[in-house]
Structure 1
Amino acid sequence: MLSWEYPPVVVGGLGRHVHHLATELAAAGHDVTVLTRRPTGTDALTHPTTDTRVDGVRILAVAEDPPAFEFAADMMPWTLAMGHSFIRAGLKLLAGEGDSPEVVHAHDWLVAHPAIALAEFFDVPLVSTIHATEAGRHSGWVSGRVNRQVHSVEWWLANESDSLIACSASMRDEVTRLFGPDLCDVSVIHNGIDMVNWPFAPRQPQFGPAELLFAGRLEYEKGLQDLLAALPRIRRTHPGTTLTVAGTGTQLDWLREETRRHRVSRAVRFLGAVDHDELVALMHRCAAIVLPSRYEPFGIVALEAAATGAPLVASTVGGLGEAVTDPDSGLTFEPGDVAGLAAAVRATLDDPSSAAGRARRARERLTEEFSWTEVAQRTAGVYLAAKRRVRHPMGRPDIPQRPLPERDPGQPA
């Protein structure tokens, strides 16, 4: 497996996904090696390449090369340099031992170059999991120079793959639409949840004003701006309701300004990054967790919240619409629908007993459909079925030359 993040270097949900998948596959008897990196901004002197075995998984964490690239300012050069270091380490530590893998599994576009190169060198099938797309993150538009570069790498990885995995049916449709029509089979395998790390707590009677929770990155596609816009309506029927925001992101300043524009700044707490135990405590305490995403390939926080027993209020976008079923396991609304969001939250707060029942049913569903054992078994099935296809020369993708769409009045420039 190749991933640009793996514990202890974790940027988001991808690192946790790869970790759980790798350890579960190893526990099932598979020989798993993860090729990943050392922390950003380090070098071979301070953080040399390591070769360790943790939880049955061999982890090759590769040192950064000396050239001074910064991810935020030089994303594509930085990514290419990381890929180069992965290829060298993979050839040295795997080919040098005469240890040829049976399959190469790439996780997202940032490892496309080394994954394609190593699969070609070892002449083995390339399986790729597409966790999100650049077009999806930007409402379908890839007009910027870097956006187009990323999109083209995603297209290349998808078309070079011998088997593809998407985390939801909506993500499968998105991948097929963006990168087809000549793709290999795309399997839908949902993300998993480690129930032990997200303990359940029965809902306690609520006294006093309700507390809502948002947990996620502070980015436009996560939809927090819609929850802030709905909060005044919620507070009119449920006075004193507050919102706690756990997470960091590039839109923090703009979102703070949105709280002032909607006159709810005193009702909103921005906590920044929180550790695991604090997040669990917040989920146990809240009257509901609200997930108002406008783009969400899956939404693993919905599983985490369901495991803890937090009532779910979520948009129907992408994978969230598959993870949360209204009215069985939560209440939902259309993405960007402020009135619908407010109505769903009000209904949750109006009937705590029904909300607690939905929360219990949401957790029960996790053990049936979203266990890591099930995810690993299905992924191993993809590995076994994957066959290396005959390769043909590829031209460059046809990326539509479209102007930027008219900006949403509420979206930051």
Structure 2
Amino acid sequence: DVPLVTTIHATEAGRHQGWLPEEMNRTIHGVEHWLAGESGRVIACSGYMRDQITRLFDVPAARVDVVPNGVDDRAWHARPRAVASARARFAGDGPLVGYAGRLVYEKGVQHLVRAVPSLRDRHPGLRVVIAGDGPYKDELVDQARRLRLDDTVRFAGFLDSTQLPAVLAATDATVIPSLYEPFGMIALEAAAAGAPLAVADTGGLAEIVEPGVTGVTFPHSDPDALAGAVDQLIGDEVFARRLARRARNMVSERYGWATIAARTAGSYSAARREHGSFQARRAAALLGGGRSRISIPEGNLLAMDGAVC
């Protein structure tokens, strides 16, 4: 009989903006609910996820610890020659805007593509590099073609850890336009690489990037606001580089693996220390009313009780 600690980085409801459209989605949600309830401690990657876990799964906030993801910032420091090579490969005569991540609907890349025509009008020679792959790629390629962006937007495919740091460092702005983002690992990686950040003000991203200090933000699903945020960076290189320096320092100070490991160990220690009392409470609840059935309400789970998706 050992304590159970569960780390939850995302929820099925969150991935679908609060909805559980199919029976499989409802089944996954039910398993998540059961697992969170059985755990002496739950680790969430952000305050946003902590709030989602407590609301969706009826877990007391006192049992949820926020431990962010970590990053080895040194692994994201590219050599100047590699950065220059990436710039030569992807940039044109103007600014270079980048995105890196999975190509799925909730990452919001469609809103970045939609913002490109206005950015290109303001900044002749602008290029956009989209690094990554996923089931939404074909739709994004079609969208870029319909907007006549074939010469402006380049889909680079998956770039591994030997290539991506240099590409991120070569950008004048790296955009993270997610609709749903429990944490936002790419924000740490891009900041560690030295890229100026423009991120959607949503989920864990809002906890990483401080507007005007370590990056710029915009409301998700708003291409005009996204374009305005990117324009702040590529229109003022001094401002952009100042933010990038602060963001890089922030990553090394707050998100180094030694710090994250210590916080994780603290959660496991608390679970072990509290295991006896947690088991006693569970036993008393079972004796009092038996094992309760997990009830999954209809509708948008993240729009109930004042929650937002």
Tell me whether 1:127 sits opposite 2:24 in the alignment: no
1:162 matched residue in structure 2: 40
CA contact (8 A) 2:107 2:179 kept: yes
Question: Identity over aligned residues, as a percent?
Answer: 46
**TM superposition shift of 1:302:** 0.5
CA contact (8 A) 1:170 1:318 kept: yes
2:227 to 342, 347, 370: 342
2:118 matched residue in structure 1: 233
SS in 1 for 2:151: helix
1:317 matched residue in structure 2: 202
CA contact (8 A) 1:200 1:309 kept: no
Q: How many residues align?
A: 282
Tell me whether 1:396 sits opposite 2:281 in the alignment: no
**TM superposition shift of 1:184:** 5.8
SS in 2 for 1:332: strand
SS in 1 for 2:42: strand
Q: Which moved more, 1:390-399 or 1:307-316?
A: 390-399
SS in 2 for 1:399: coil
**Take 2:293 and 2:152, find their aligned partners in 1: how far apart are those partners?**
50
**TM superposition shift of 1:207:** 8.3
1:247 matched residue in structure 2: 132
SS in 2 for 1:218: coil
**Take 1:278 and 1:331, find their aligned partners in 2: how far apart are those partners?**
25
Question: Residues 343 and 403 from structure 1, CA distance in 2 versus in 1: closer, same or farther, beyond 3 angstroms?
Answer: closer
SS in 2 for 1:250: coil
1:283 matched residue in structure 2: 168
SS in 2 for 1:356: helix
2:249 matched residue in structure 1: 364
**TM superposition shift of 1:263:** 2.3
SS in 1 for 2:130: strand
Question: Residues 136 and 361 from structure 1, CA distance in 2 versus in 1: closer, same or farther, beyond 3 angstroms?
Answer: same
**Take 1:192 and 1:243, find their aligned partners in 2: how far apart are those partners?**
28
2:212 matched residue in structure 1: 327
1:91 matched residue in structure 2: none
For 1:152, the aligned partner's letter is G
2:307 matched residue in structure 1: none
SS in 1 for 2:148: coil
| Larger relative contact order (Cα-Cα within 8 Å, sequence gap ≥ 6) | 2
For 1:161, the aligned partner's letter is S
**Take 2:79 and 2:240, find their aligned partners in 1: how far apart are those partners?**
14
Question: Residues 156 and 403 from structure 1, CA distance in 2 versus in 1: closer, same or farther, beyond 3 angstroms?
Answer: closer
CA contact (8 A) 1:143 1:402 kept: no
**Take 2:65 and 2:159, find their aligned partners in 1: how far apart are those partners?**
34
* 1:305-324 Cα shifts (integer Å, max 9, x gaps): 11111110101110101111
SS in 2 for 1:265: coil
TM-score (norm 2): 0.86
1:269 matched residue in structure 2: 154
SS in 2 for 1:266: coil
* 1:334-392 Cα shifts (integer Å, max 9, x gaps): 11111110001111111011101100000111122111111111111111111322233
CA contact (8 A) 1:212 1:286 kept: yes
Structure 2 unaligned spans of 5+: 302-309
Tell me whether 1:150 sits opposite 2:28 in the alignment: yes
Matches within 5 A, 1:111-122: none
**TM superposition shift of 1:273:** 1.1
Question: Residues 158 and 233 from structure 1, CA distance in 2 versus in 1: closer, same or farther, beyond 3 angstroms?
Answer: same
Structure 1 unaligned spans of 5+: 1-122, 405-413
**Take 2:133 and 2:20, find their aligned partners in 1: how far apart are those partners?**
24
**Take 1:156 and 1:223, find their aligned partners in 2: how far apart are those partners?**
30
1:215 matched residue in structure 2: 100
**TM superposition shift of 1:395:** 2.9
1:13 matched residue in structure 2: none
1:139 to 7, 17, 20: 17
RMSD of aligned Cα (Å): 2.1
**TM superposition shift of 1:183:** 6.8
CA contact (8 A) 2:175 2:198 kept: yes
**Take 2:244 and 2:291, find their aligned partners in 1: how far apart are those partners?**
49
2:191 matched residue in structure 1: 306
**Take 2:220 and 2:43, find their aligned partners in 1: how far apart are those partners?**
25
2:75 to 184, 197, 209: 197
CA contact (8 A) 2:78 2:165 kept: no
Question: Residues 286 and 186 from structure 1, CA distance in 2 versus in 1: closer, same or farther, beyond 3 angstroms?
Answer: same
**Take 2:153 and 2:32, find their aligned partners in 1: how far apart are those partners?**
37
